[in-house]
């Protein structure tokens, strides 16, 4: 069986060159994402910041699945809002690339996994909205920007027992997760449903509904957890298996 090709998005990185000329730009992505996909028999490929829509469309045709990684804030203009105090860095090129990929992959009924920012991008791409800054807009007490190592399990999440997400964790409906975000899903897009929540009721996971193509997203960072608990690989495995199908 040919292993499926899984595209992964990364953040836009700019640094000054040691030589005269323009700054160097590229893509940065933690190895943890790609190695997680590799562990479950997918072939990871990091997606460059293509500017030609035709080229991006051709790439989407060749991909069997997509992972949207964590990173910067989503431009609130994309969900009909002006920027509020607390909004962080926005990279318009990344927003445009990832939203286009979501639309292209769903049009081809190919699976998508969103992680942290990736969940927020999926929700916005499908018509949902976000909290721009939880400390200013959300009244919950749970700390969502933990001050502990990335593999530390910070807070508990409740999962809908009838969800695809629960199946990824062997049917578990209560797990502990890490947490590194200050934005979150507010109004869930109509083609998605909330399937996980923190103890205060903040949405921590969404997935596609009914006969819609496989789309699953979580607000935490499983790529930092699977080395300590291979059960976490269930998220990556579900994507790869959907890509094979």
Buried b (16+ CB within 10 A) or exposed e, 62-101: ebbbbbbbbbebbbbebbeeeeeeebeeebeebbbbbbbb
| Active-site choice (98, 116, 168, 207) | 116
> For this structure, is 116 an active site residue?
yes
| Active-site choice (172, 204, 223, 241) | 223
- Give CA–CA dist 214/126, Å, rounded: 14
- Give CA–CA dist 233/96, Å, rounded: 29
- Give CA–CA dist 133/6, Å, rounded: 31
CB–CB of 178/146 below 8 Å? yes
> For this structure, is 223 an active site residue?
yes
| Active-site choice (53, 144, 221, 230) | 221
Residues designated catalytic: 116, 221, 223
């Amino acid at each position: 069986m040919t292993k499926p090709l899984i595209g992964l998005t990364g953040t836009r990185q700019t640094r000054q060159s040691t030589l005269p000329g323009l700054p160097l730009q590229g893509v940065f992505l933690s190895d943890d994402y790609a190695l997680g996909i590799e562990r479950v028999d997918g072939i990871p490929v990091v997606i460059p910041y293509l500017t030609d829509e035709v080229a991006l469309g051709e790439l989407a045709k060749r991909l069997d699945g997509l992972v949207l990684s964590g990173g910067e804030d989503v431009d609130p203009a994309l969900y009909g809002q002006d920027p509020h105090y607390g909004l962080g860095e926005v990279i318009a090129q990344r927003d445009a690339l990832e939203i286009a990929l979501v639309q292209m992959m769903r049009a081809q009924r190919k699976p998508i996994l969103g992680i942290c920012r990736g969940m927020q991008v999926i929700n916005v791409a499908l018509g949902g909205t976000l909290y721009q800054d939880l400390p200013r807009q959300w009244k919950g007490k749970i700390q969502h920007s933990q001050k502990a190592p990335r593999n530390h399990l910070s807070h508990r999440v409740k999962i809908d027992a009838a969800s695809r997400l629960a199946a990824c964790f062997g049917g578990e409906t209560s797990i502990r997760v890490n947490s590194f975000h200050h934005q979150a899903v507010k109004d869930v897009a109509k083609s998605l449903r909330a399937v996980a929540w923190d103890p205060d009721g903040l949405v921590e996971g969404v997935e596609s509904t009914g006969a819609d193509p496989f789309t699953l997203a979580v607000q935490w960072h499983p790529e930092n957890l699977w080395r300590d608990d291979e059960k976490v690989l269930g998220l990556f495995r579900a994507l790869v298996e959907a890509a094979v199908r």
